[in-house]
Chains A and B, each alone.
Chain A
């Protein structure tokens, strides 16, 4: 079974500063996908960034980047130049897209990010 662990229930950051959210996962598979989703107060799930496990290069999307350490099964999210609009719940998610788990996302418990002006 796949498990995703987010050890930081809450984090805070000053506007314009950088913050890193942690995520670890457990799997015996070698080919999978990892995601960070943002859920603002509206509760709409928004995909922030994705990483294919076969790619060694860390994914980047503007101010968002990941540190993917496959051997350590770690997938942290770095938010640079934090903005007030980044305040939200962030979920780390894992996908092994084969067999009985086709399409099934495994979510962590989430990290509530507060951004201070």
Chain B
């Protein structure tokens, strides 16, 4: 149980285009989902926290107009990178916390974004 999926697992896009990454909780309902960014050999950096039906809370320094987060249902959150540039190339990971569950978070497998 407690599986989180991400789609796509790897995406290549051209500079200036937008790309959407989906995060789904497959066998539970997620009250809160978290989006992280990770550069090679570095730690996870929290970008934003999203709660179903409300606006995401962004960490300081994260451009909310560039990284659009939508948590439309209890099983789906999306991250849209708008007008992507090569410096947005990174590994994006989501995690989810179960409604009424414990403090534990469940991580998705991540999405590798390459902007050319």
Q: Which residues of chain A have a CB within 8 Å of any CB of chain B?
A: 33, 42-45, 47, 50, 89, 91, 95, 97, 102-105, 107-110, 112
Instruction: List 5 tightest A-B contacts by C-beta distance, closest first.
Output: A45-B107, A97-B103, A107-B43, A44-B109, A109-B43
Expressed in whole angstroms, the minimum distance between the Cβ of B27 and any Cβ of chain A is 17
Q: 1/0 per position for B71-101, CB-CB distance to A under 8 A? A: 0000000000000000000010101010000
Q: Which residues of chain B have a CB within 8 Å of any CB of chain A?
A: 32, 34, 38, 41-44, 46, 49, 91, 93, 95, 97, 103-105, 107, 109-110
**Does the CB pair A103–B32 fall under 8 Å?**
yes
Alpha-carbon separation in the docked complex, A47 to B2 (Å): 12
Expressed in whole angstroms, the minimum distance between the Cβ of A104 and any Cβ of chain B is 7
The binding surface of chain B is classed by DSSP as strand
Q: Given contact pairs A33-B103, A108-B43, enumerate 19 new A-B contacts (beta carbons under 8 Å).
A: A43-B93, A43-B110, A44-B110, A45-B44, A45-B93, A50-B104, A91-B43, A91-B44, A95-B103, A97-B103, A103-B34, A103-B97, A103-B103, A103-B105, A104-B34, A105-B44, A109-B43, A110-B41, A110-B42
Pick from A44, A89, A91, A103: contact of B49, CB under 8 Å: A103
Chain B residue nearest to A42 in the complex (CB): B109
Expressed in whole angstroms, the minimum distance between the Cβ of A88 and any Cβ of chain B is 12
Expressed in whole angstroms, the minimum distance between the Cβ of A73 and any Cβ of chain B is 19
In the complex, chain B residues whose CB is within 8 Å of the CB of A44: 107, 109-110
| Number of interchain pairs (Cβ within 8 Å) | 45
Alpha-carbon separation in the docked complex, A105 to B95 (Å): 10
Most A C-beta atoms less than 10 A away, residue of B32, B43, B97, B105 = B43
Chain A residue nearest to B34 in the complex (CB): A103
Chain B residue nearest to A89 in the complex (CB): B41
In the complex, chain A residues whose CB is within 8 Å of the CB of B32: 102-103
Alpha-carbon separation in the docked complex, A91 to B97 (Å): 19
Chain B residue nearest to A105 in the complex (CB): B105
Alpha-carbon separation in the docked complex, A108 to B43 (Å): 7
Alpha-carbon separation in the docked complex, A89 to B38 (Å): 13
Alpha-carbon separation in the docked complex, A112 to B43 (Å): 11
